[in-house]
Amino acid sequence: MITSDLVRQRVRTLPSLPTTVVSLGQAVADDRCSVDRILNILAKDPALSATMLRLANSVMYGGDQRVMDLRTAVMRLGFEAILNLGRTAAIIRSFKGVNHLDPMRLWQHCVAVGLVSKGICRLLKQNSMDESAYLAGLLHDIGKIALDRCFTNEYGPVVEDIERGAMCLDAEFGHLGITHAEVGAMVAEHWSFPEPMIVAIRDHHQDHPRAFLPALIQLADLLVRTRIPNCPADETLMFALEELPAYAVVFGKGDFDAERLTFSIDDELEHAVAFVKLAFQD
């Protein structure tokens, strides 16, 4: 079994959160942010700049004319898209190397959960929460990568059981005595994330989440898993959305069109799949 102390010791060997992630977030949060400031940040990361150009010319964002320079790409994508796509691409590039996991499938799932979480915030007019929701959704399964990279030999049998149909948490706890949610929270602590994001990563599988952010990530995770199965067990995943305790935490007792929500996420899933494929071309 793996102890929490050993996990905390080994997660220190993981790469730091890319500086681009922090810099883009600070820049876009500044009302005085300019195109030149974004360009200065991207100039320090040529691989990310190349990804931004590919995105600007992709089916998702492409216009009538092909973009040949980064300034035009930034103007076409817009600051919000640059923030989401830029930091996502930077994180994927740092953490796509794994031993037992399918990195493409994992990151498509994580990006989709981030986008759906942000989309729900927008539907609820919780715009002040949408960026935290996106980043928490994007990194909610970072504990899986930490286990795969820091405990390679121990995690192999876990992934084998999951691929044979076992539930992820059951396989992890049975073999390791700890889950990816707990490990992910330790990674978030190591990166000095705010407490609400640490709690969201730690509690996104809790039966009765009490705070808005972990409940939101749990709902987004379930909604994505029914459309993009993350493992064989997800192929038979069924639940009544309105009956989940997390639903009441996120949406309260008022009327909310759950059917509209389930239909509205389909575009987000399509964007997530396409974007991760582009990000993996580095």
Q: What CA–CA distance (Å, rounded) separates 112 from 268?
A: 6
Q: Model pTM greater than 0.85?
A: yes
Q: Region 233-256: what's the mean pLDDT?
A: 86
86: left (phi over 0), alpha (psi -120 to 50) or beta: alpha
Q: What is the pLDDT of residues 41-54, one digit of tens each?
A: 888 888 888 888 88
Nearest to 124 by CA among 212, 240, 31, 195: 212
Question: Is pLDDT above 90 for 9?
Answer: yes
Instruction: Choose between 186 and 263: higher pLDDT.
Output: 186
The pLDDT value given to residue 268: 79
How many Cα atoms occupy the beta-carbon half-sphere of 166 within 13 Å?
A: 15
The pLDDT value given to residue 218: 97
Q: What is the total residue count of the chain?
A: 282
Domain 4-279 has CATH 3.30.300.30: no
Instruction: Choose between 258 and 217: higher pLDDT.
Output: 217
Q: What is the pLDDT of residues 96-145, one digit of tens each?
A: 888 999 999 999 999 999 999 988 988 888 888 888 899 999 999 999 99
Give the pair of three-digit tokens for residue 169: 């948490």
Q: What is the pLDDT of residues 27-40, one digit of tens each?
A: 888 889 899 999 99
Other C-beta atoms lying within 10 Å of the C-beta of residue 207: 9
Q: Region 5-25: what's the mean pLDDT?
A: 87
Question: Is pLDDT above 90 for 269?
Answer: no
- Provide the mean pLDDT of the chain: 88
The pLDDT value given to residue 282: 61
Residues 6+ apart with CB under 8 A from 218: 203, 204, 205, 206, 209, 244, 246
Question: Is pLDDT above 80 for 213?
Answer: yes
Q: What is the pLDDT of residues 156-189, one digit of tens each?
A: 999 999 999 999 999 999 999 999 999 999 999 9
**pLDDT band of 63, cuts 50, 70, 90:** low
Given a contact cutoff of 8 angstroms between Cβ atoms, the answer to whether 261 and 124 are in contact is: no
The pLDDT value given to residue 125: 86
Nearest to 213 by CA among 122, 129, 111: 129
Residue recorded with tokens 């600007």: 56
Handedness of CA 19, 214, 212, 134 (dihedral sign): positive
Q: What is the pLDDT of residues 75-85, one digit of tens each?
A: 888 888 888 88
Handedness of CA 165, 166, 168, 172 (dihedral sign): negative
Q: How far is CA 114 from the centre of its chain?
A: 5
- Which own/partner pairs from 119-124 qualify as long-range (CB within 8 Å, at least 24 positions apart)? 119/264, 119/265, 119/268, 120/216, 120/219, 120/220, 120/250, 120/261, 121/216, 123/261, 123/264, 124/250, 124/251
Other C-beta atoms lying within 10 Å of the C-beta of residue 244: 18
Question: Is pLDDT above 90 for 214?
Answer: yes
Question: Residues 211-220, buried b or exposed e (16+ Cβ, 10 A)?
Answer: ebbbbbbbbb
Question: Is pLDDT above 70 for 257?
Answer: no
Question: Is pLDDT above 80 for 281?
Answer: no
The pLDDT value given to residue 215: 97
